[in-house]
Amino acid sequence: MAEEEKQFEEFEQIDFLKDRHVRFFHRTLQVLPERYASLETTRLSILFFALSGLDVLDALDVVDSNIMIEWIYSLQVLPTEDKSNLSCCGFRGSSHIGVPYSTKGPGVVHPYDSGHIAMTYTGLCSLLILGDDLSRVNKQGCLAGVRALQLEDGSFYAVPEGSENDIRFIYCAACICYMLDDWSGMDIQKAIEYIRGSLSYDNAFGQGAGRESHGGWTFCAIASLCLMGRLEEALSQRELDRIRRWCIMRQQSGFHGRPNKPVDTCYSFWVGATLELLDVFRYTNFEKNRNFILSTQDRLVGGFAKWPDSHPDPLHAYLGLCGLSLIGEPSLRKVHPALNITQRAFQHLQQLQQTWRESTNSCGGQH
């Protein structure tokens, strides 16, 4: 009797409910109840979590790609006829501003219409995941919009009207430039200075200088430097070893984001991916990490929550899957640890970039 119980417990522990998660994301794509109102301005990032989540689950076939692609393009803030709004270009998080639906230019004149850097980033990722070729992305607009958001100290605002500025938006900017294969969108040197300035006494990164080091901001710092190709230029070997130590100490069962805080599913990705980028993820304890992530799985509605016995949400559902993918969960696609899309979507991006480069080699240039 005891043996059966033990086996059942083990079975429960390792039971990854793939179908439930597919349904969870599928529902997210449709309609959310009013209590999700606070997500209105970030709906495009919620779409990203659902799409990328389905991609990791290898279940994108349940999605109508064309519908999604059209909706995403309707969120693009395009240059107006006279191009006076270039610094506002990029992607909106949703239709909340009230600009009429349109997937074509020129842009509409509106006193308060502008993109949001995190929505430009997740919008581009979402298009890539859906197999789009980005040909309708106004690259000049996006890059001008990103450039306009960078401050003297190297950090970025989220929106041209002003907002808080910190390392999260450096990460968004780096992803955008990386995907568009064009670093004119940012002053890399200044961004590196801000990142270095955010390195805390305990060898990880806060949201800015002097601030408490944190798993999420450490991911933003390291992933940005990797995307820029400047990791070893910006940080010495000794600094990197110290950062590795801080990150690997975050594992308690799953991972937490700061010393003496509770573990939370999303850090299995933020810290896990950072460790992967620093080439030491393999020295973590996969089994304990997996057991924790699965303990936050909602067995009824699918998805993952930050803690066991809590409500699941799209962010934790997505990052929980990414955390499992990092440790090699068999039914999941591999994730690019810096860009945070599947390797499959990343390969699509690489092919696109190859095409772009080839088409700019004109006038008899030999490949």
Partner 1 sequence: MLDRKEWADLEPVPQDDGPNPVVKIAYSEKFSDVYDYFRALLKKDERSERAFALTAEAIELNAANYTVWHYRRVLLQALSKDLREEMRYITNIIEEQPKNYQVWHHRRMVVEWLGDPSEELEFIAQILSQDAKNYHAWQHRQWVIQEYKLWDKELAFVESLLEDDVRNNSAWNQRHFVISHTTGFSEPAVVERETQYCLNQIRKAPHNESVWNYLKGMLQDRGLSSQPGLLEKVLELKETHCSPYLLAFLFDCYEDALENGVPKDSLDQGCQETLEKALEICKLLAQEKDTIRKEYWQFLGRSLQDRYGGEVSPGDATPTAPASEPQQIS
Residues in 84-103 that interact with partner 1 by CB under 8 A: 94-101, 103
* 280 scored as a contact of partner 1 (CB under 8 A): yes
CB 358, min distance to partner 1, A: 33
* Among 156-164, 179-187, 218-226, 332-340, the segment contacting partner 1 (CB under 8 A): 156-164
Task: Write out the binding residues for partner 1, residues 211-230 only, by CB under 8 A.
Answer: 211-214
CA 306 – CA 299 distance, rounded (Å): 14
Maximum separation of any 2 CA atoms in the chain, in Å: 78
Query: Which residue, 161 or 365, is less far from partner 1 as judged by CB?
Result: 161
Task: Write out the binding residues for partner 1, residues 29-48 only, by CB under 8 A.
Answer: 29-34, 36-44, 46-47
CB 91, min distance to partner 1, A: 13
CB 145, min distance to partner 1, A: 16
* Among 83-91, 328-336, 339-347, 352-360, the segment contacting partner 1 (CB under 8 A): 328-336
Closest CA to 345 of 356, 333, 355: 333
Query: Which residue from 142, 159, 173, 341 is in contact with partner 1, where contact means CB under 8 A?
Result: 159
Is the separation of the CB atoms in 326 and 268 below 8 Å?
yes
Binding-residue total with partner 1 (CB under 8 A): 82
Q: Which residue is listed with tokens 């240039």?
A: 365
What CA–CA distances, in Å, run from 159 to 70, 150, 151, 299? 23, 10, 12, 38
* 52 scored as a contact of partner 1 (CB under 8 A): no
Q: How many residues does the chain have?
A: 367
Q: Residue 30: what residue type?
A: Q
Task: Write out the binding residues for partner 1, residues 258-277 only, by CB under 8 A.
Answer: 258-261
* Among 172-180, 183-191, 325-333, 344-352, the segment contacting partner 1 (CB under 8 A): 325-333
* 328 scored as a contact of partner 1 (CB under 8 A): yes
Query: Which residue, 182 or 212, is less far from partner 1 as judged by CB?
Result: 212
Structure tokens at 268: 């299995």
Torsion angle of the four alpha carbons 177, 181, 185, 189, in this order, in degrees rounded to the nearest 10: 80
Structure tokens at 197: 């300035």
Task: Write out the binding residues for partner 1, residues 160-179 only, by CB under 8 A.
Answer: 161-164
Query: Which residue from 62, 67, 151, 301 is in contact with partner 1, where contact means CB under 8 A?
Result: 67
Query: Which residue from 23, 242, 353, 356 is in contact with partner 1, where contact means CB under 8 A?
Result: 242
The CB density around residue 185, as the number of other CB atoms within 10 Å, is: 23
Is the separation of the CB atoms in 239 and 192 below 8 Å?
no
Strands (E), 43-146: 76-77, 90-91
**DSSP H or E segment with residue 74:** helix 65-74
Query: Which residue, 140 or 163, is less far from partner 1 as judged by CB?
Result: 163
* 334 scored as a contact of partner 1 (CB under 8 A): no
Closest CA to 338 of 189, 139, 186, 177: 177
CB 181, min distance to partner 1, A: 27
Task: Write out the binding residues for partner 1, residues 112-151 only, by CB under 8 A.
Answer: 112, 116
* Among 250-258, 304-312, 335-343, 350-358, the segment contacting partner 1 (CB under 8 A): 250-258
Angle at which helix 267-277 crosses helix 314-326, to 10 degrees, equals: 40
Query: Which residue from 206, 272, 303, 337 is in contact with partner 1, where contact means CB under 8 A?
Result: 206
Q: Map residue 127 onto helix, strand or coil.
A: helix
Query: Is the sign of the CA dihedral 352, 354, 357, 358 positive or negative?
Result: negative
Is the separation of the CB atoms in 255 and 271 below 8 Å?
yes
Query: Which residue from 81, 133, 233, 287 is in contact with partner 1, where contact means CB under 8 A?
Result: 287
* Among 82-90, 117-125, 138-146, 287-295, the segment contacting partner 1 (CB under 8 A): 287-295
